[in-house]
């Protein structure tokens, strides 16, 4: 009986090791196959990438050497363009268009349209896939013209925040009436907290054509983040439109120290003395940042101040205020010597 048990056990062990060996052989074979597949895929991909790179270089050279000045109708060439060449030619055109301006840019945009690429972009702008819509807008950022304003305005209603604000940025380039497609102030206040960069880009684009719209936000909103962004945008755009309204807004928002500081910086940036009275008033502000930004504004224009005012500020609890006041005192005494 023991011998039977031993034989059965031995058979079981032999079967087990044979089974394990078979599995190991299969695993080893699969690994070898995967290595060969990965090698050939990488080899094919490298060749494909080099082909695309050389083809794009070929098209870019052709664009600069021939198409840039050609009056030829390119619409018929679209029929003979190979399918796998289309995306490469498209990016070659987009890259070239993004690097030039003026009549040459308009000419290449017409060629881009003749090849049917603009039509593809506008179709993608209505795609159910948000990635396609975002990609289309990123291309339209370089090739859009005023005749696609209706499609851009429609895209400003997109539920995806990045698409919405990119569409607002593009649409505002061609429209003097952003009220027709911009979102309400409350939604703008919420967006600027979550996505400050994309909101800033959109506001900058609006400010280039309609700075008064940005100034109006200063009176319609109480949100300090949004007010700061608007002031930054006005400063970067160096817009002096509505300067009186900006000063008035600063007066109404004196309690918002960052906004007030940004306002004084804006006035320095555009070289305006309109804020002198407001700055002198804020030298007595209970907020140390407001005192410093006001004093710095007056110092930037070398506005003379009473000695007793400066002496009081030189003992200010805020170190920056005290140091700036001492600097002004020393310079004024140096001038009187």
Instruction: Convert the pLDDT of each residue in 31-86 to its tens digit.
Output: 667 877 776 667 666 666 676 777 777 777 877 777 777 776 665 555 556 777 78
Q: Which residues, other chains included, contact 176 with Cβ-Cβ below 8 Å and sequence gap of 6+?
A: 209, 210
> What is the Cα–Cα distance from 268 to 262, expressed in whole angstroms?
10
Of 66, 99, 115, at which residue does a domain stop? 115
pLDDT per position as a tens digit, 110-120 = 888 888 889 99
Query: What are the Cα distances from residue 84, in Å, to 46, 52, 73, 95, 189?
Result: 16, 10, 22, 18, 45
Residue 221 backbone zone (phi > 0: left; psi -120 to 50: alpha; other: beta)? beta
- pLDDT confidence of residue 29: 64
Domain boundary among 96, 115, 134: 115
Question: Whole-angstrom Cα distance, residue 266 to residue 300?
Answer: 12
Record the tokens describing residue 174, joined without a space: 């061609």
| Residue 210 resides in a domain | no
Angle, alpha carbons 117-159-152 (nearest 5°)? 35
Residue 205 maps to a domain: no
Are 59 and 89 in contact by the 8 Å Cβ rule? The answer is: yes
Residues 176-214 pLDDT 10s:
666 666 767 787 888 888 888 888 888 888 888 777 777
Residue 109: domain span: 49-115
**The model scores a pTM over 0.85:** no
Instruction: Determine, yes or no, domain membership for 189.
Output: no
* Residue 170 included in any domain: no
Residue 92 has pLDDT above 80, yes or no: yes
H-type alpha helices, the chain:
2-62, 77-80, 86-99, 102-114, 117-124, 130-143, 149-155, 161-174, 185-194, 196-209, 211-220, 224-236, 243-252, 257-270, 276-282, 288-300, 307-314, 319-336
Among candidate residues 120, 133, 71, 129, the one with its CA nearest the CA of residue 94: 120
Instruction: Please tell me the distance from the alpha carbon of residue 322 to that of residue 316, in angstroms, as a whole number.
Output: 5
85 falls within a domain: yes
pLDDT at 20 over 90: no
Residue 288 is assigned to a structural domain of this protein: yes
pLDDT range class, residue 136, cuts 50, 70, 90: very high
Specify the number of domains making up the chain. Answer: 2
Establish if 201 belongs to a structural domain: no
In a domain, 135, yes or no: no
Q: Which of 88, 115, 142 is the endpoint of a domain? A: 115
Percent of the chain beyond pLDDT 90? Answer: 7
């Amino acid at each position: 009986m023991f011998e039977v048990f031993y034989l059965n056990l031995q058979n079981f062990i032999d079967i087990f090791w044979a089974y394990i060996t078979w599995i190991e052989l299969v695993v080893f074979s699969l690994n070898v196959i995967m290595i060969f597949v990965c090698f050939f895929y990488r080899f094919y991909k490298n060749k494909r990438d080099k082909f695309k790179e050389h083809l794009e270089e070929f098209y870019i050279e052709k664009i600069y050497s021939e198409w840039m000045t050609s009056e030829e109708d390119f619409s018929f060439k679209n029929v003979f363009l190979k399918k796998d060449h289309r995306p490469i030619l498209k990016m070659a055109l987009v890259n070239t268009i993004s690097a030039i301006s003026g009549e040459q840019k308009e000419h290449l945009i017409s060629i881009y349209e003749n090849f049917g690429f603009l039509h593809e972009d506008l179709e993608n702008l209505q795609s159910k896939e948000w990635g396609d819509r975002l990609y289309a807008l990123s291309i339209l950022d370089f090739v859009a013209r005023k005749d696609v304003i209706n499609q851009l305005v429609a895209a400003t209603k997109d539920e995806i925040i990045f698409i919405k604000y990119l569409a607002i940025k593009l649409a505002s380039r061609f429209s003097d009436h952003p009220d027709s497609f911009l979102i309400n102030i409350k939604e703008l206040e919420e967006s600027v907290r979550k996505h400050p960069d994309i909101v800033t880009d959109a506001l900058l684009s609006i400010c280039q054509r309609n700075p008064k719209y940005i100034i109006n936000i200063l009176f319609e909103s109480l949100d300090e983040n949004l007010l700061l962004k608007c002031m930054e945008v006005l400063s970067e755009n160096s817009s002096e439109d509505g300067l009186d309204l900006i000063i008035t807004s600063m007066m109404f928002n004196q309690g918002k120290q960052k906004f007030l500081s940004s306002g004084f910086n804006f006035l320095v940036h555009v070289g305006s003395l309109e804020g002198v009275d407001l700055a002198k008033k804020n030298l007595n502000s209970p907020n140390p940042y407001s005192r410093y930004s006001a004093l710095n504004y007056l110092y930037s224009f070398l506005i003379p101040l009473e000695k007793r005012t400066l002496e009081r500020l030189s003992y200010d609890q805020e170190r920056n205020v005290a140091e700036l006041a001492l600097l002004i005192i020393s310079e004024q005494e140096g001038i009187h010597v």
